[in-house]
Structure 1
Amino acid sequence: MLRFDQVTIRYGSRIAVDNVSLTVPDGEIVGLVGESGSGKSTLARAGVGLVAPTSGQVLLGDRPVGLRSPVQLVFQDPYSALDPRMTIGQSIAEPMPRASRADRRAEVSRLLELVDLDPSRAMQYPAQLSGGQRQRVALARALAGQPEVIIADEITSALDVSVQGTVLNLIRDLQAQLGLSMLFISHNLAVVRYVATQVAVMHHGRIVEHGPAPEVLGNPQHDYTRELLASLTT
């Protein structure tokens, strides 16, 4: 369970995240939605220890999150997320726990199959893959670190609409197969609605609404949530 406990993050005089409390329960996908600049990505980086809270804390179970915590972040841009000088297999194997070379090769193949890519892709380089394929590799790489929680930060926003659907279906399949725990961040409420069991709405650095997805989306209580829903039909 990943828990943000009254987290505030300041950059000088600017408050990027304002007293946010949010929990990602074990085995659930929590969707975090809000417009650009609302503080979502800052919160994501705090979740993996890349940004230190000004106040409050981020906990995995009862342990403070740090750079070596078993929380993995999947970034927005699939073109910059992978080292162009490394093969796909090398990129996926990099965060793996120590094992023999044969075991690592076998695990790379297993993970590629898990994200619906042929294991032969392991010998290719990122430039030989499409954006959707690279994002699948980024997911496989995140899973290679045996994380307890994955934070997915706008992972479909840079993809074509047709490709977005395949990645979202993959997220749902992984959750069903692995009992994946994930904080899924997006500015697109329709995307969040498709994958999330819970929805949190972030506005100006604060969580303004949070609850089970059917309740938040079916009977929104905050004006900003209503605006987001209305935008889907306009």
Structure 2
Amino acid sequence: MTTEGGLRFEDVTVRYGATTAVDGVSLTVPPGQVVGLVGESGSGKSTLARAAVGLAPVCAGRITLDGRPVPTRGRRRPLQMVFQDPYSSLDPRMRIGDSIAEALPPGRSRAERRAEVERLLELVHLDPGRAAVLPALLSGGQRQRVALARALAADPQVVIADEITSALDVSIQGAVLNLVRELQRELGLSLLFISHNLAVVRYVASHVAVMHDGAIVEEGPAHRVLTDPCHDYTRELLAAVPGSTAPDRPRRTP
């Protein structure tokens, strides 16, 4: 998958000492699309995400947004990340409305900021009246909705969602995934959706990349990768999905 725009990882390598966590990865998140990045814990997928927002060192290659280096400092950050644990990513001493308002671009009046916070809370299906509540008084699913609202407050070009449902109860995961699909459809979000769960990725992504030992071993349209995988590791991941049967090794016609 190639495109001139969007978020692009070009031969990106991340090392910690003698350990190579990401090894020459190339991947593109086109504008307005959801790309799923799947792999087991330790495969390097979260490290790649952290490199995109400046939280992990890029030793080789480059990461660009619409052909330019991704800015990782300053108030205007067009790449926003939503983390696995919504409680640790929110200041426990800050009311959720203030937390969302903090991420808004500067230059708005107090009334405009209040109205935008209310709009964002409604967008993620939370009562705007809860803006004065502290994170500890919310459920895990509600906190993750706040984290999504905070990411959207910055008006990003791309959102990276890193295992955003894995810390939630199964009964809540579906609601958050439905919200992600709804936001993508209504806002035209560009989204890199990271998960160890192929069933989750299948639900939200149109394109899937499979990561193993720091490298992309397979990628393509979601329906092709998840029904006719070419790599044995992808087949193992599919076999691990409850209720699914990995397809037999494809027999190619000469």
Please tell me the TM-score bracket, short chain as reference. Answer: over 0.9
Q: Find out whether 1:149 has 2:158 as its counterpart.
A: yes
Q: Which residue of 1 aligns with 2:90?
A: 82
Q: Greater Rg, structure 1 or structure 2?
A: 2
Q: Which residue of 1 aligns with 2:36?
A: 31
CA distance in 2, matches of 1:89, 1:129: 13
Which of 73, 94, 102 does residue 102 from structure 2 map onto?
94
Identity of aligned residues (%): 71
CA distance in 2, matches of 1:188, 1:226: 13
User: Scaled by the length of structure 1, what TM-score is found?
Assistant: 0.98
CA distance in 1, matches of 2:61, 2:170: 37
> Could you tell me which amino acid in structure 2 is paired with residue 94 of structure 1?
E
> Could you tell me which amino acid in structure 1 is paired with residue 222 of structure 2?
A
SS in 2 for 1:41: helix
> Could you tell me which amino acid in structure 1 is paired with residue 100 of structure 2?
I
User: Scaled by the length of structure 2, what TM-score is found?
Assistant: 0.91
SS in 2 for 1:4: strand
CA distance in 1, matches of 2:187, 2:90: 24
> Could you tell me which amino acid in structure 2 is paired with residue 138 of structure 1?
A
Q: Which residue of 1 aligns with 2:62?
A: 57
> Could you tell me which amino acid in structure 2 is paired with residue 142 of structure 1?
A
The offset of 1:119, in angstroms, is: 0.3
CA distance in 2, matches of 1:127, 1:81: 12
CA distance in 1, matches of 2:99, 2:221: 36
CA distance in 2, matches of 1:148, 1:48: 13
The offset of 1:138, in angstroms, is: 0.1
Which of 164, 171, 176 does residue 162 from structure 1 map onto?
171
Which of 9, 27, 36 does residue 4 from structure 1 map onto?
9
Which of 110, 118, 137 does residue 119 from structure 2 map onto?
110
CA distance in 1, matches of 2:105, 2:86: 24
Structure 2: gaps (5+ residues): 1-5, 245-254
Q: Which residue of 1 aligns with 2:227?
A: 218
Q: Which residue of 1 aligns with 2:247?
A: none
- 8 Å contact kept, 2:15–2:57: no
Q: Find out whether 1:130 has 2:139 as its counterpart.
A: yes
SS in 2 for 1:89: helix
